[in-house]
Amino acid sequence: MQIRRKSACSSVLVLCLVQLLCFGVVASSERGEDREAMVREQILARGVKDPTTLTAMRTVPRHLFVPESMSQHAYQDRPLPIGHGQTISQPFIVAFMTEIIKPGPGRKILEIGTGSGYQAAILAATGAQVYSIEIIPPLADSAALRLKQLGFTDVKTKSADGYYGWQEHAPFDAIIVTAAAEFIPPPLIEQLAESGLMIIPVGSPFFVQTLMLLQKRDGKTISTNLMPVRFVPFKRVAEE
């Protein structure tokens, strides 16, 4: 009896140690109430129900993905500036796009527009294998460092024009584009696996765009318009 209790005790101790060693877990325990309120009032209330997505939104410390001066606003119902004229999307949009592409263990996902790295971290928190491309080198560098420091060590990032996708890791089960494109880049359609899902805001950078869902079936794409959105423009040349 005593031996069994001792070994149970030591397994709990080992578990606690492992959690303490993982900075991500420590960080995610901060501002948990803010995240809980964000999920309840902004995400569940608007119909996002997928448990995997909700758990990821409750776990990833969004306040560590925004500039320190914005930290107090991190859990508010709005996008926030992240420097270089770019923004981190509103929490609801992140959750909505995540739910739609069904991330989870064993799913290989490509993101175009790493930005702060928040959406990539949410996808990684579901257990998906994440590849993320950012066209602005300083943003790509800071997101890569942040993801590493927060324990998202499996996310693969690179600084490049996401128009061309990431051929060497294709095909992807899902592709998520977080900048508004005037048309869907053909290389991304090519790199989508059969039955794969792509979510992308399409339209002029100066107006409201349409968030579109594409599914590849028998080599063809079927598209559905989901809702009007405002995203920063999909760039074609690295400007900074």
Q: Which residues lie below 8 Å from residue 188, measured CB to CB, with a gap of 6+?
A: 110, 112, 162, 163, 165, 175, 177, 198, 200
By the rule CB under 6 A, 161 interacts with ligand SAH: yes
Site string for ligand SAH, 104-123 (x = CB under 6 A): --------xx-xx-xx----
Q: Report the distance separating Cα 230 and Cα 176, nearest Å.
A: 15
Beta bridge partners of 215: 197, 222
Residue from 110, 139, 174, 198 in contact with ligand SAH (CB under 6 A):
139
Residue from 48, 95, 101, 133 in contact with ligand SAH (CB under 6 A):
133
Q: How far is the CB of 240 from ligand SAH (least distance, A)?
A: 9
By the rule CB under 6 A, 98 interacts with ligand SAH: no
- Our CB check for ligand SAH shows the closer of 1 and 110 to be 110
Binding part of the chain for ligand SAH, among 3-11, 36-44, 96-104, 159-167 by CB under 6 A, reads 159-167
Binding part of the chain for ligand SAH, among 86-94, 150-158, 204-212, 215-223 by CB under 6 A, reads 86-94
Among residues 214, 143, 138, which one has the least CA distance to residue 181? 214
How many Å separate Cα 85 from the centre of its chain?
19
Q: How far is the CB of 203 from ligand SAH (least distance, A)?
A: 14
Contact 58, 40 (CB under 8 A): no
Other C-beta atoms within 10 Å of 85: how many? 12
- The length of the chain, given as a count of residues: 240
Respond yes or no: is residue 195 known to be catalytic.
Answer: no
Among residues 177, 203, 83, 73, which one has the least CA distance to residue 137? 83
Q: Give, rounded to a whole angstrom, the gap between the first and last alpha carbons of the chain.
A: 65
Binding part of the chain for ligand SAH, among 54-62, 80-88, 190-198, 217-225 by CB under 6 A, reads 80-88
H runs (alpha helix) in the chain: 2-21, 23-28, 32-38, 51-59, 91-100, 118-125, 137-149, 186-190
Q: Which of 7, 10, 11, 89 is catalytic?
A: 89
- Our CB check for ligand SAH shows the closer of 158 and 217 to be 158
Residue from 64, 135, 211, 229 in contact with ligand SAH (CB under 6 A):
135
Residues that bind ligand SAH (CB under 6 A): 82, 86-89, 112-113, 115-116, 118-119, 133-136, 139, 161-163, 178-179, 232, 234-235
Residues designated as active site = 89
